[in-house]
Amino acid sequence: MSRIGKLPVSVPANVSVKIEDQCISIKGPRGELKQPFRSEVSIAVEGDNIVITRNGDERTARAFHGLYRALIANMVTGVTQGFTKGLELVGVGYRAAVEKVDGQSCLVFKKGELGFSHPINFPIPVGVEAEVQDRTKIILRGNDKGQVGQIAATLRELRPPDAYKGKGIRYTGEQVRTKVGKTGGKGGKGGKK
């Protein structure tokens, strides 16, 4: 049995759970999240806990057992506390701002502010809030852990950290290993004497 899957998910008093038609919906003070689930697992509410059991011993059933337990635990955390992901802009002139563009809230990188010769308007989807501190720190908040993480990964892909100087967009607290440049590793061979 899956070590993660067999653990019940505790439901706080201010959270309601509804299961119908192979879909679980969890509603809490921060909103509501829904997750369809496959027929390889069964989900039931027993007292103050959500219990996930698998309907067979095949490899896919064992895999989905732990997966759905983790997803449901993240849903309960999301509707009660929410999730936060931070990004940092490292580089001279790298800046961001949150502005309305055509009626939609966007993270705006103006011309040259991310090292590109054109402006970038990154739309912030519904369910995610973005905040910029000191023009170089981006904080993403939301109820859905997967959505917050995907938005952060997509933003990081706009300008991943450089291997030599470390310039770019990185997660808060991320350690970027840099390479030594051509001049850094000069020995006695091949150089002028």
Question: pLDDT tens, 127-170?
Answer: 999 999 999 999 999 999 999 999 999 999 999 999 999 899 99
Rounded alpha-carbon distances, angstroms, from residue 188 to 185, 191, 193: 10, 7, 9
pLDDT in tens, 173-190: 999 999 988 875 555 555
Tokens linked to 89? 């802009």
pLDDT at 13: 92
Mean pLDDT in residue range 95-108: 92
pLDDT band at 76 (very low <50, low <70, confident <90, very high): very high
pLDDT value, residue 4: 84
CB proximity list for 94: less than 8 A, separation 6 or greater: 113, 114, 115, 136, 159, 167, 168, 169
What pLDDT digit, counting tens, does each position of 43-73 carry? 999 999 999 999 999 999 988 999 999 999 9
Task: Please state the pTM of the whole predicted model.
Answer: 0.85
CATH architecture of the region 83-171 = Alpha-Beta Complex (3.90)
Q: Is there a shared CATH topology between the 9-80 domain and the 83-171 domain?
A: yes
Domain residue ranges of the chain, discontinuous segments joined by +: 9-80, 83-171
Homologous superfamily (CATH) of 9-80 is Ribosomal protein L6 (3.90.930.12)
